Amino acid sequence: MSIKAPTRRDFLAGAAGAGVLGAATLSSLSAFATPASHRAPGGRAGLIPYGSAVRADALVTDVAYREAIVTNCDIIVAEGEMKWLDVHPERNAYRFEKADALVDFARQNGIEIRGHTLAWYGAMPAWTAAIDSRAEAEAELVVHIETVVSRYRGQIPSWDVVNEALVDWPEDATSLRPSIWTRWLGADYLPIALRTTAAVDPETRLVLNEYDVEFRGARFDARRKALVQLLRSLRDRDVPLHAVGLQSHLFADRALDREGLQSLLRDVASLELDVLITELDVIDDRLPGDIGERDGRVAGVARDYLETVCEVVRPKAILTWGLSDRYTWVPTYFKRHDGMPNRPLPFDADLEPKPLFDVIEEFRGKFASRWTR
């Protein structure tokens, strides 16, 4: 069934042409708003909300990018601006300028914003390496979460509280990725982080965000199994948790494990946890250079994936890890050998929609009538 609903682009055509989106500074980012009354919170009725990771600096400097985000996103998530490194660079100093700007920008434009992330091994400021006792680790983790989550209480309806808890090749749910938190708190850091977030903002949805659970092979089998065990162990201890975030960094040269992924999703559903697709992109470093062929293959990988997921669950949201190939983390780790730019995202570097965008649009609508609650 094809669903035709007005897009943000329809509403914005006039505003952008009239120069509403002009030069900006970080503090004035929120001033660049479209009429919020045009937007139902969380997206167009019945469709799976779509969104993207954003970069605050680019929203300030790049008008076309900002317009594309406002036009196309129901949800945004900070690509880095809410991580420890950014908001808590010194032990006794928080810096919220960029995170605040993103929250304001989202509110002014009627866009939802997700939080990312509160307990991760990555993007940690140097000072945390000096933590040297269990009591100190717990105090720092709790105070950080209380400070950040309370600042945005009521404004961030969903947090990636725990990010990438498992090692690359886990034996079981106890195979947690080493961090300052596991060093001093062991597996207790998970309930501490989740319970603290829930206590500070009882309305926000608590998400455990994980990657590399989509593919075929022994390592991915082990990751799916350990993830389900971890979710069960949290449930058995009454630790609050509402959803699993499937990061969904897909690799065009890795085979999707349809049965394995669907079995994971059935287990997640049986634990009464929601599913979000949080960081979708398709890593294209090993695909042929030809743009038409490459974009088609990327879209095909995403189609297979979304079909596999949506046969079992209706994702609460689909977010890509960036909107446009202009701003993507992918070349940092997966640069192409032919020197051509990567094309992992729904819009190209000129902000033109690609076949991947059509696939996402199709899935948002295709399952709307079937799954709408």
Which residues belong to the active site? Answer: 164, 279
CB of 163 to ligand G3I, least distance (A): 6
Which contacts qualify for 230-235: CB closer than 8 Å, 24 or more apart?
230/165, 230/166, 230/173, 230/190, 231/267, 231/268, 231/271, 231/273, 232/173, 232/271, 233/173, 234/190, 234/191, 234/194, 234/208, 235/271
Q: x/- binding map, residues 117-146, to ligand G3I, per CB under 6 A?
A: -----xx-----------------------
Span interacting with ligand G3I, options 75-83, 104-112, 282-290, 339-347, rule CB under 6 A: 75-83
Concatenating the DSSP letter of every residue in 81-107 gives TTSHHHH-SBTTB---HHHHHHHHHHH
**Residue number, nearest CB to ligand G3I:** 329
Instruction: Give the residue with the Cβ less far from ligand G3I, 95 or 235.
Output: 95
Burial of 349 (0-12, 13-18, 19+ CB in 10 A): middle
Give CA angle at 245 (303, 60), nearest 5°: 85
Query: Which CB sits closer to ligand G3I, 280 or 368?
Result: 280
Candidates 77-85, 137-145, 223-231, 365-373; binding stretch for ligand G3I (CB under 6 A): 77-85
Q: Which residues pair with 206 in a beta bridge?
A: 159
The residue written with tokens 């390496």 in the block is 129
Instruction: Tell me which of 138, 140, 279, 295 binds ligand G3I, using CB under 6 A.
Output: 279
* CA–CA gap between residue 273 and residue 95 (Å, rounded): 33
- 329 is a site residue for ligand G3I (CB under 6 A): yes
Minimum gap (Å) between residue 122 Cβ and ligand G3I: 5
Which residue of 62, 67, 74, 79 would you call a contact of ligand G3I, by CB under 6 A? 79
- Give the x-and-dash track for 159-198 against ligand G3I (CB under 6 A): ----x-----------------------------------
Binding residues for ligand G3I, rule: CB under 6 A, are: 79-80, 83, 122-123, 163, 247, 279, 329
